[in-house]
Amino acid sequence: MGDLHIETRAGCGLASIMARKGVEARQVGAALGIDAPTSPVRKVGAGGLSLIGTGSGTWLAYAEGVYPFWSNDLRQRVDGLASVSDQSSAYVILRLSGSRARTVLQRGAPIDLHPEAFGVGSAATTVVSHIGVIVWQLDDRPTYEVALFRSFSDSFRHWLDQAAAAL
């Protein structure tokens, strides 16, 4: 049936961004140099910063290879437009790739991950095996990244290993 690769991502930064009342996505995006999504998708901007739409006027900012206090830079860039909360140490990010990645995620997620419904750039805030996650698709391999609260990482990994073993 194919392969499955699972990797825990390290050195990544995550921050919640919430637009202030009356501020539009385009204003926040302009301040960050990225087209801020208005739906559950992942947009990549300059410098490797991604914004993942998680709700109306809310995003998960994601960057690789961050430096200490990187969220302070985000906070300054959106000053007066949005609130920023560093979530880097609160989340774990797993990267699932290979021909079995979609199948294993579909065993626990109540959303349609078929390529016609969930393709490259798609994102969703959902649950997998009763654990809240944010998932986005990076490429057609397919490769997914799954962000979840660190305190649930052992439970999620146990489920993931069991689901993968059953394939």
- Report the CATH number at residue 121: 3.30.1360.120
Tell me how far CA of residue 104 lies from CA of 4, 122, 129, in angstroms. Answer: 9, 17, 11
Residues 126 and 161 in one domain: yes
In this structure, what token pair is assigned to residue 121? 């750039």
More confident residue, 157 or 2: 157
User: Is 1 contained in some domain?
Assistant: no
pTM beyond cutoff 0.95: no
pLDDT in tens, 99-156: 999 999 999 999 999 999 999 999 999 999 999 999 999 999 999 999 999 999 999 9
- How far apart are alpha carbons 59 and 92 in whole angstroms? 17
**167, 103 in Cβ contact below 8 A?**
yes
pLDDT of residue 66: 84
Q: Looking at residues 52-81, what average pLDDT do you find?
A: 93
Is residue 65 very low, low, confident or very high in pLDDT (cuts 50, 70, 90)? Answer: confident
pLDDT in tens, 40-61: 999 988 788 999 999 999 999 9
pLDDT of residue 22: 97
Q: Which of 56, 86, 116 is the last residue of a domain?
A: 86
Range of the domain at 46: 12-86
Tell me how far CA of residue 102 lies from CA of 29, 42, 65, 80, 119, in angstroms. Answer: 30, 18, 27, 40, 11
Tally of domains in the chain: 2
pLDDT of residue 20: 98
pLDDT in tens, 11-37: 899 999 999 999 999 999 999 999 999
Which stretches does DSSP call E strand in the chain? Answer: 5-8, 12-19, 42-44, 50-55, 58-64, 82-86, 91-97, 123-128, 131-139, 143-149
- How far apart are alpha carbons 167 and 103 in whole angstroms? 8
Sorted by sequence, the CB contacts under 8 Å of residue 115 that are 6+ apart come out as 140, 142
